[in-house]
Structure 1
Amino acid sequence: MTSNFNPAWTPARDPAQGRFATLTFERDVAAPLSVLWQAWTAPAARAVWAAPTPSVVVEFLEADTRVGGREVSLCKVEGQPDIRCECGWLDLEPARRSVNYEVVSCEGVTQSAALVTAEFSGTQERSRLVVTVQLSSLAEDMEAGYRQGFGAGLDNLAAVARRTMVLQRVIRAPRSIVWNSWMNPEALPQWWGPDGYSCRTTRIDLRTGGEWVFDMIGPDGTVYPNHHLYHEVRPEERIGYALLWGENGPKHADAWALLEEQDGATRVTLGMVFSTEAEFQQAKGFGAIELGQQTLGKLERFVKAR
């Protein structure tokens, strides 16, 4: 788990003097196990909860959550040098376990290295996370910084999981076909939205830094303005974007779509971190889960018809 290190460290007077510690953090989370796992691993969700305090700004330079992939981020605090965090994923067992290394450096000097193991358990109602950090540090107060940073970060994670919605569907088609149906500007508006809804596009540019400005029109003719801002597009893998209420309106969710190969089919995961827990509960109350599943059903039918 990168980016949750407290950057208020003090350089060691004797760099050769190593410091070792094993730290354990436990959290019970009022969210389904599948949701907690997505909040822990999906880059779009990690970007929401990564900063341990409001005074820290986290900038992600790389994010590749798969075995052999890495995540690189900068923790920025006004008046202090940037802290670089590099995370390398060593093991990922969905909804069970993750293992990663983490190296923290500043101005080219390594401050610490750690092995981070996260164990997951739970049900569709509640979940539990136990994180063990085996820390080796070369700077003073790194153990204290890790305790504070990981503690705050996991509190943020628990809060984010409580307002995260995750929808999944396995589509019996190759990933390339599902991806092309999603990222084709002519195809996407044809299937996006629940049953009975249609899309009227103003602008569409499906690439990193692009956008989709459109209206969703309900069966009764009600118009719902939408604006998607795409901040990450990894071909045939995942999409990260922000959902706004109308063109340049307030953001109501950070979202991602993940496409994974599964025995010749494609597992599609659609995740959304709502801006507040109240918005999440409101969306859940008017049937957003069922409507989202209808949207994925339309995608499946569209793919099969091609």
Structure 2
Amino acid sequence: MPDEMNTRFATLTFERNVGAPVETLWHAWTAPAARSLWAAPSPAVTVEFLEADTRAGGREISLCKVEGQPDIRCECGWLELRPAVRSVNYEVISSGDVTQSAALVTADFANTDVGSRLMLTVQFSSAAGDMEADYRQGFNAGLDNLAGVAERTMALRRRIQAPRQVVWQAWTNPDALPQWWGPDGFSCRTQRIDLRPGGEWVFDMIAPDGTVFPNHHLYREFRTEERIGYTLLWGENGPKHADAWVSFEDADGSTEVTLGMVFSTAAAYQDAKGFGAVELGLQTLGKLARFVGAD
């Protein structure tokens, strides 16, 4: 048991107003693809996710890496997830086999007239001396990053009247995916497709007027019937367009599909909104519904 003089208890509170709807802020807060982008407190830190099970009772394990220093391990356990309302998780920070601190993190979400608000309460106990300043710095930096990520996140949802297994197969079968992917009137011409972690899909999207849009998807994660994580590139090995994910939730025999994208820059997000990315993305989910016979 650590010496009482070396143990520090504190309760910290943070608040951020975010220029994005509360539902979008929630996705940026919970989706692993988004969390990996905003979790690092500084550009010198790289965050590597080893495990991410975003549901009540699930846990998330990540490593914070700084060149020349030992990795810092963060274990997050989700205790409560009430979409766009509240999340509660524990967080344990360790280095090697030594636990440095533990915390209970409560996040409350609310709509505002111009977007949304996040209120965060962190109750922590440190066994590595006084870590209050480190906690303040880390959470302030992370929440600043979160606000920026949320404001360039697009999350589209559709309930599809088909079992989750059927919808999952339509998204992960290499023969099926090119048949429905893309907005109304678009078709896909595949060069290579390998749907697995570390795999890729190199293809052209062809518009009704014949315009060709080269695409390259790099797949990072396949969590069976739950989530796919991938990166969007402009053409084969081209510049990154967005970090994306799709999640599948059972809804009494139907499937709630969420297609999320964090655009590389705020300007890219505004450009995408300007050319109708929301409407085109919803058309894509509509084609998926028709493909599985649900519409």
Shared fold (TM-score, shorter chain, > 0.5): yes
Counterparts of residues 259-298 of structure 1 (less than 5 Å): 259-298=248-287
Are the aligned partners of 1:198 and 1:217 in contact in 2 as well (CA < 8 Å)? yes
Counterparts of residues 80-229 of structure 1 (less than 5 Å): 80-122=69-111, 125-229=114-218
Q: Deviations over 1:150-184 (max 9, x none)?
A: 00000000000000001000001100000001110
Return the alpha-carbon distance in structure 2 between the equivalents of residues 199 and 305 of structure 1: 22
Paired residue total = 294
Return the alpha-carbon distance in structure 1 between the equivalents of residues 284 and 113 of structure 2: 22
Tell me, which stretches of 5 or more residues in structure 1 are unaligned?
A: 1-12
4+ residue runs over 2 A deviation = 13-17
Shift of 1:107: 1.5
Return the alpha-carbon distance in structure 2 between the equivalents of residues 97 and 274 of structure 1: 25
Whether 1:59 and 2:59 are equivalent positions in the alignment is: no
Are the aligned partners of 1:32 and 1:124 in contact in 2 as well (CA < 8 Å)? no
The equivalent residue for 1:5 is none
Are the aligned partners of 2:7 and 2:129 in contact in 1 as well (CA < 8 Å)? no
Shift of 1:246: 0.3
Which one-letter code corresponds to 1:174 in the other structure?
P
Return the alpha-carbon distance in structure 1 between the equivalents of residues 60 and 21 of structure 2: 25
* Identity score, percent: 74
Return the alpha-carbon distance in structure 2 between the equivalents of residues 123 and 294 of structure 1: 29
Q: Deviations over 1:117-157 (max 9, x none)?
A: 00001169501000100010011241111100000000000
Shift of 1:16: 5.9
1:304 aligns to what SS in structure 2? coil
Tell me, which stretches of 5 or more residues in structure 2 are unaligned?
A: none
Whether 1:38 and 2:16 are equivalent positions in the alignment is: no
The equivalent residue for 1:250 is 239
The equivalent residue for 1:75 is 64
Return the alpha-carbon distance in structure 2 between the equivalents of residues 256 and 123 of structure 1: 26
Are the aligned partners of 1:31 and 1:124 in contact in 2 as well (CA < 8 Å)? no
The equivalent residue for 1:238 is 227
Return the alpha-carbon distance in structure 1 between the equivalents of residues 195 and 205 of structure 2: 18
Using the size of structure 1 for normalisation, the TM-score is 0.94
2:292 aligns to what SS in structure 1? helix
Return the alpha-carbon distance in structure 2 between the equivalents of residues 49 and 240 of structure 1: 16
Shift of 1:251: 0.4
Are the aligned partners of 2:221 and 2:229 in contact in 1 as well (CA < 8 Å)? yes
1:87 aligns to what SS in structure 2? strand
Q: Deviations over 1:27-53 (max 9, x none)?
A: 000001110000000001101111010
1:284 aligns to what SS in structure 2? helix
Q: CA RMSD in A?
A: 1.4
Q: Deviations over 1:207-242 (max 9, x none)?
A: 111000000000000000000000000111000000
